[in-house]
Chain A
Amino acid sequence: MSPAAKLPAARVLEEFLFRQAELLDGRNWDEWIDLFADAGVYWMPLKEEQRDAENYPSIFYEDKALMAARVGRLRDGHAWGQQPPTRTVHLIGNVRLDGAESRNGEILVRSNFTVAEFRRDVLRHHAGTYTHHLRSAGKSFRIAMQRVDLINCDGIHEYNLQVYI
């Protein structure tokens, strides 16, 4: 029986998505990075339905080394752009498994998110779609790819995205 025919329960996957959001909101970035597979990537395309991250610009395109660099800066104490720091709250819903397929043993989960982000008196709002490519790892998963499609990806960005969405 192929792994595709034996998808984990929807609830387990949902919990995993909620957990990754909770780690971000709690600024537990090392644990969050550990959710990724060794060659895992966090990708936020610049364009709707972008397919190519190697030959066209993206907003984020980070492997674990780049994630560690970002997190190192965020925690440094001399990251002036984090004085005051950014706070976030993620809300994840509309989790969809109906398109879930196994590709190299990966499980595809799509969901919608809204993220409220607050820094220095300014509250702003992000919204979009997550596409998680997950690999089973014991009782949990590892993220091979977390694709984050903001609905305003190619719009004007009023503030830097210093933390992960």
Chain B
Amino acid sequence: MTKRVGIEVSLAIGEAVKLANADVVAAYPITPQTHIVEHLAELVANGELDAEYIPVESEHSAMSACLGSSAVGARTFTATAGQGLELMHEVLYVASSMRLPLVMTVANRALSAPLSVWGDHSDVMAVRDTGWIQIFVENGQETVDNVLCAFRIGEDRRVLLPVMVHLDGFYLSHMIEPIVFPEQSQVDRFLPPFKYPLPLHPDKPVTMGAFAMPVIYSETKKAQEVNLEAAKEVVLECWGKFGKLFGRNYSPVEHYHSEDAKVLLLTMGGFSETAMTTVDKMRGEGRSVGLVRLRLWRPFPFAEIRQAVKNAETLIVLDRALSFGGPGGPVCSEIKAALYGEAKRPKVIGFVGGLGGRDITPAEFEEIVNRGIEISQKGSDKEFEIFGVRE
């Protein structure tokens, strides 16, 4: 039967990919993703995973190799972080618009310059509009579970899209955590073999990613948008099925003491677990504080987010990326956009923090909440504040 094992989360991802029985892994090592692909290279070299491991010369090549592999109908996995994700950038659009399912874990990292190998969400936000399904996880178990779900979601005939699973670089990728792995037979039942409907095959030649004149390009983009939006139902269905089989449940927007809270904090990724500690403490002191965590970043869960925050007076959003010269944090900006048309909506206060591996402790989350309430009551002439920055 399934048992809990202590394992580094990066290695656990490798084990999950092995359980998913991936056919091809094409990847280039980059901190803090390296242990993921190192472990997969070992699994393939040891014969524990019967897959092609393609050691490419760059991330641009990694993603390009993944396109070809997915296009012939092979179950495909890669992983990257930070600058690597940036180097893949143009190919990411090709994967989604050619409707090629593949799974990529991103060990979220800051962007240069100055060089930082540590965690934040700058890399994620730069690929926000690439048309991938994007899921955030908060701990090792969620990572393993969602890597398995990502294959099932992406390969579903109604979806056929690439999926990114975002985990915080170092904060999560390098943690040793107790993780329950499902049995191979359970995974095999959960994850049917991948069969691409129109694969590259010499018996029935097709052309993928062909030229589009102005007369047809808009139609291709509309089809892509409708498809990504519709994928949300399949994401929900998959998480529902996963919950029934394995007893762990996932939602596009996760709640923590949020239902009756006057003040809500909104976070994404691993910092959410720290924020929960703060909510526990403040609740213990009789404060009406709760937390909502955005798990499904794309397609954006508009209905769920509106429902989750509608009764709050103040909503404090923490971004771990900065949109330079713009409205501050990209997440806060999207939350504001989602709520703009609502008759009943909280005041939305934006903070940017946790950049380039800067910690936010439970005590500092309390400061964020208190400062957010202060801004909400007294107002501010700024669009957002960078938390913890030395003035």
The answer to whether A and B come from one shared complex is no
